[in-house]
Amino acid sequence: MFPRRYEFLLFAFFMSLFMSFFMSGVITLINIGMVSGFLGLWINAFVKAFIVAFPTILLVVPQVRKLVSLLVRNS
């Protein structure tokens, strides 16, 4: 198990991993269809997407949390 101080880093890692995996698959399928070699093309797109997604989530999540806290009222 990881110490609590790594919670945000682990969140960002897994969120970017899953989102880039699924989104790259869906977008690759939409763009080229189920062609021969689809899996290789998907994995290639996934790796590139993950390289962008992980640091993006590290930067964006704190700002999104602030925005959401401004938009949500306490009941």
- Assess if residue 55 is contained within a domain: yes
Domain coverage including residue 45: 4-70
Asked if pLDDT for residue 75 goes beyond 90, the answer is: no
pLDDT for 56 equals: 97
- Assess if residue 75 is contained within a domain: no
pLDDT for 49 equals: 97
pLDDT tens digits along 2-51? 999 999 999 999 999 999 999 999 999 999 999 999 999 999 999 999 99
Q: Enter the tokens of residue 4.
A: 């609590």
- Assess if residue 50 is contained within a domain: yes
pLDDT for 74 equals: 80
CA angle 31, 16, 36 (to 5 degrees): 30
Asked if pLDDT for residue 73 goes beyond 90, the answer is: no
- Region of residue 31 (phi > 0: left; psi between -120 and 50: alpha; otherwise: beta): alpha
